[in-house]
Structures are given as C-alpha cells and as structure tokens.
Structure 1
Amino acid sequence: MKKLLLCLLFLLIPAVSEAAESLPPTLKPEAQHRDHAYTWETRHEAVKERHRNIKPEYVFIGDSITHHWAGEPADGFGQYGKDSWFRLFGPHAVTNMGFGFDYVDNAYYRIQQGELDGISPRVIILMIGTNNLGHRKDTPGACAANTRALISLIRRKCPSSKILLLGILPRKEKDLIDAIRETNRQLSRLADKRHVFFSNPGLVLQEGNSGTLRKACTMDGIHLSSTGYSILADELADLLHRMDPQYKGGKVPRPAKIDGMDPDQVHLVAIGDSITDNYRKDNLPCQDFLPIWKKYYAPYNAFNAGFNGNTTDDVLARIGGKGILDHVSPKVVQIMIGTNDTGRGNTEEETFNGICRVVNKVHSKLPHASILLVGILPSDIYNWHVAAAAYPDKKFKRDMAVNDRLARLYAKNPFVTFLDIRDVFLDGNGKVREELFCDPAVVVIKGKKAGPLHPNTEGQRLMAEAIQPTLARLMKKHSK
C-alpha cells in the first residue's frame, strides 16, 4: 500500500508543481477557432506527429506571422517567405509552430497539450502577442505576464533549450504604437541572457521611428511580405550565430560561379537597380552598355548585383533572402540605389533612411570592404507609370536633397565614400540633359514618350568615367 501511495505521489508532482505556479488571471489556456482558414486541431496534431518522428534543432512558436512564413508542417496556408526560411534554417531540422490568430493563451495550451513533449531543441524562438494587443485588446502588462507564464512552461518542458524571445512587430494601427512599445519594454525584462534572450527585430522593419511597418515589408500592415520575411531572416541569422555555435544556417548554398567567376575571385560588387543592371545590355545604338562594363568594371572582377525596379527594401530582401553577399569577400561594394524609392512616392526621409539601411547592412555583412555610395542620378520622369510622375520636379528636388544629406552624413566616414555625380547629367542651368538618357527614345507609355530616367550609351559611359577615379583609388587602397 505504501509503495502504491509513493508511486501516486510521484505521478502527481508535475501537475501539482504546474498548479502551484499560479497563472495570470488574463491567461486562458484553450484551443482557438477564430481563424477559419485552417483547422486548429489538425495542425496541433500535425506538430505533435512531427515531433514523434523528428527531433528538431529549432522550433518557432508564433501566430499567423510565423505560420505564413514557410516550413513544416506545411498545410497550404501561407508559405510567403520560402526563400528566406530556407536560407535561415536550410541545413537544420526545424518546426514551424505558428498558428494563425493565436493568442499567447492558445500557444500555452498547445504546449501544455504536448507539442514540445519528447524534444529538446537547441533554440526555441518565440514571437507571439500581437493578437492579444490588436484583437483582444490586452494591456501591455497582461500580455507580458501571459508571455512570462508561457516562457516558464517552455522552460519546464525543454529545460536545456535556449529561448529567443522576439518583440511584437509594429502594426498599422497607430493607436497600438505605444502599447506595442511598452509591451516590448516589459518583454525585454524577461531575458536573463543565460536561458532567455530578447531581441526586437521590429526596429529594422519599421519606417524610421514611426512604430508602423514599412510598406515594402508588409502585405496588409500586420503580416509580413516576402521582403519583410527576408529582412527578418537576416536579423535572426545574426542572433542564432551568436546564441548557438552549432548553427550553420543564414546562407544560401555556395554557387559554383557568380557572373562567371569563382565567388572568391569577386573583388567588386555593384549593387543597384536597373541603372546598374543595364550594364548587361548590348543593344545598339542607345543601350550599348556591356562594352562600358567590360572596360570600367570587369578588370576588377566585378559582380553586377543590380536588379531592375529595385528599391532600398528590395536590396535588403535580396541580401537577406537571396543571399547575394553570402559567399563573396569583395574589396569594394558600389551602391547606387534610391531612385525607385522616390519614384514610388517615398518621402525624402524614407528614402534617406532606406539608403542608410542598405549601407549599414552591407557594412555589417562585409566589414572589411570599402563602400562607394553613388548619389541618386537627376531625372525628369514625366509620363512614367509611377506615383512621382505626377510631380517630376518634386522627385528631382527630393533626390537631390537626399544626396545632400548623404554627403553630410558620410563626409568623414572611414568605411563609406559618397560620390555625387549629378553635374554630369545637368546643364549649366541645372536642368536634366535629356540627350544623355535613353527613355525618350525607347520608352512609350500610353502613347507618350517617357521622361529621362535611365542613361543612354553616352550617359552610361560618362557615369562610369565619373565613378572610375574614386573606384580605382578605393581598389588600390586594398592592394597595399
């Protein structure tokens, strides 16, 4: 009889210890049926089944922002960031434990009901709470208290796992900005920097210090776009490298060749939009750009990383999702970006901040490379199909103002050289020299010739000649 009572006592210890830790009154562990796009119970069972068969190195617990990203168990819901998910976790076993519309309470219930049983991931990433604030209207204190209880449960289930707690991402609702900031402040206090670590990636996804997501980073002001996921993945890769010495993600597979070269042979990377991408063209007479590239860039073993239509956020996404800088160690990175930002109606401040983000990201990826930042070229985009075409003078002034600010910012920066070549494309009266642009000759929109935006053969040659002395000086510096 004593042995029976002793066995029963041991069986009761886990339940008693969990009950002894009183839960916050706002935490209601339960299943969730608010999201009718998928069956909550089916996904819950799929996660448990996966963990009976696979022991993941990482799990990512969250709501629809995580659920939409990619990964397993896949259920046809979302998968909007496959490239960046693969780059972030590619060589590792990982489980996506995001459930659309979940509160912290629902995640607590899922884990209480066995989703982490029998596994011991090296890192558990936790990004949840936006629905508590945005839908249920919890206070910051309630959301943080619920999250503290969830972390405590995760620690009991997986005592050897590290927990990476992420701040709640910005949302479109301006009345939630202060609540999100206060919640994140309280969440940061839950980190002990031994078992629990905190990071707030929303800071790199928001517009300036606005507290709302940048347009390119979101589909609806709440959920991330593929660009947003790519930027988030890049931030998480840096964090996982610091937290876990066994982490080998954060890079795309090494390509055999980049622009026909072994990646180790690349000494110059030219990042930009169509103006840089156009160097691949050899269309006579007004777009014969390839010979210019071969003369001024190819001798430096240059990789053309320009892409038609790119904005600053697109460049960040290609760095984070496509991994365009993953396997190169260039001496110099040339950056010429921003004209599509203002073309789409971004403000001077937004464009300036976007360019600075690109520069900072390149420098963090390639700290030993010199950065040659070329200013936005003058343009006069009448008759184009973008927002700024309605006010081409405003775009021109905005671009030149951005250049002026960049010149002041980087005037004494040891890693960044700013080069403003506007004078090449302006006449003595400060007007755009249309004869140096190909658009009026080759682009027709709604039956009308488009205004000057892309240099023609002569303009591209003059541009390369203007850049060459500074580029040569920076390349020579690395040859010493």
Structure 2
Amino acid sequence: MTDSEKALSITPVARTEPWWQERHLQKMDEKKALNDDVDLLFLGDSITHSWEDTGAATWKKHYAHLKPLNLGYSGDCTEHLLWRLQNGEIDNLTPKLTVILIGTNNAGHRVESAQDTAAGVKAILNEVQSRLPKSKILILATFPRSKSKNAPMRKRVNAINDLVQHLTDNKNTFWLDIGHVFLTEDGTVLDTVMPDFLHLTSEQYQVWADAMQNTIARLMR
C-alpha cells in the first residue's frame, strides 16, 4: 500500500462525466422537493443506483412508503461518495436509517488494497455520523463478485469485508453480510443471479430486499 493509493480512497473528488454532474444536481432537487423529509437513505454505487431501474418494482413494494431517498451513483468509488456527502446531498436530512453499500469499484476499477478500500469506507462512515448524528447506519458487506469463490476478485472483496465489519459498534452503526443469498452451496455466482458476475437481475433485488427486511424494520423502529 502506498500513500498515493491510500489518498485516492479517502480524498473527496467529484467525477467529471456530464451524467454524473447532472445526477448530482437532480438529486439535490429531489431532496428539496421532498422538503428534506427522508426516513430511509441509501448511499452507494451502481448496485444501489439500479434500485431506480432494474430493482424499481421491488423498491416500490418495499421502500416507497418509508420516505426513501436513493443516492447511489453508477461507478462511484469511496472518494466520489465522500465528495457527495460533503457537497450538499445529505445536508438537513434526518433519516432514521442510512444504508451504505460501497467499495466494489475501488476493488474492481483501481484494484487497490483491501486496507485502502476499508479506509475509504471508514471515512464515509465518519462523515455520515458527523452530518447525520441521529441516524442509525447499516453498512452492507460488499456483494460477492466473479463466478468462482477462488477468483482473485472474490478474495479481494472478502478481504475488504473482513476489515470493514470491525468498523461498526452494534449500537448506532451496524453490519450486515447478505452475500450468501446470491451464492450456490459451493460459493458459485450463477449468471442467472449476476449476468456479469457483479450486477443483480431484477429478481435478485427482491432477494436483496427480503434479506434486509427484518434488519431494516428493527433499525427503523
């Protein structure tokens, strides 16, 4: 691990793609339209972003009545989410629960160390705690990647999860690993679950929601 690599995961930076900039502005407008009245907040990357399309039916069924806001952006690494947190996206919100799923792009796009990615998740956790002091926070384990349990990318994700799970205290911050629901008994990811061995099918968003249901209900009481 080098200092420069570590700096990437924990140093806030905006992305330059026009769609990303437009989504940031659109989400600021959406938050304003909701009068900042949000009880369930999702933060993440493409897997969270896709609640708006691939998982839309499940989102409507499970979360629409819970005053939700989806702040997932396709392709985001930890530093991009950190920038968004520091640039207005969660200002004035008072959610009961904040759900965080981030880190897979740090491992996949940049192939950085698990320690670097965990440092990025820790920076995000600290930022959310500082800005949303009354919110409970649920960190989800990064979902399994690659077809085989022995694939280098799978091992990299497992190493990230081994570190990140120790960031929570089970008082205000919580850890949930539901990765097993996407695997066969021998640890394989099927292409009917993740066609590219990363992103979920629409049916798997229902599986995801079912796996979180009891935890979300408990933490939002």
Normalised by the length of structure 1, the TM-score is 0.40
Q: State the partner residue of 2:34.
A: 261
Q: Cα 1:396–1:473, aligned 2, differ >3 Å: closer, same or farther?
A: same
- Relative to structure 1, the CA distance from residue 217 to residue 425 in structure 2 (aligned partners, 3 Å threshold; closer, same or farther) is closer
Question: Residues 391-443 of structure 1, C-alpha deviation per residue, up to 9 Å, x if partnerless?
Answer: x9111111112212223442x34111100001101111111132112xx3xxx
RMSD over equivalenced CA pairs, Å: 2.7
1:338 counterpart (103, 123, 131): 103
What residue in structure 1 maps to residue 48 of structure 2?
276
**Deviation at residue 325 of structure 1 after TM alignment:** 0.7
Aligned to 1:401: 159
Specify the alignment match of 1:195 in structure 2: none
Q: Deviations over 1:57-84 (max 9, x none)?
A: xxxxxxxxxxxxxxxxxxxxxxxxxxxx
**Pair 1:351-2:96 in alignment:** no
- Contact 2:99–2:140 (CA under 8 A) maintained in structure 1: yes
Preserved CA contact (<8 Å) 1:269 1:333: yes
Q: Which has the larger radius of gyration?
A: 1
Number of residue-to-residue matches in the alignment: 208
Amino acid at match of 1:349: Q
Aligned pairs for 1:209-224 (under 5 A) are 210=3, 214-215=7-8
SS at match of 1:262: coil
Q: Aligned to 1:428, what secondary structure does the other structure show?
A: coil
Structure 1 residue 259 displacement after superposition: 8.1
Paired residues of 2:13 and 2:79 also in contact (CA < 8 A): no
Unaligned runs of 5+ in 2: 16-24
Q: Percent identity?
A: 32
Q: Deviations over 1:146-185 (max 9, x none)?
A: xxxxxxxxxxxxxxxxxxxxxxxxxxxxxxxxxxxxxxxx
Q: Could you tell me which of 317, 335, 352 is aligned with 2:83? A: 317
Q: CA offset at residue 257 of structure 1?
A: 4.3
Paired with 1:216 and 1:351, the residues of 2 have a C-alpha distance of: 6
State the SS of the aligned residue for 2:31. coil
Post-superposition Cα deviations, 1:191-220, rounded to whole Å, max 9, x if no partner, equal xxxxxxxxxxxxxxxx89x377623678xx
1:299 aligns with 2:74: no
The verdict on how the C-alpha distance between 1:417 and 1:315 changes in structure 2, with shifts beyond 3 A counting, is same
Match of 2:21 in 1: none
SS for the counterpart of 1:434 is coil
Partner of 2:131: 365
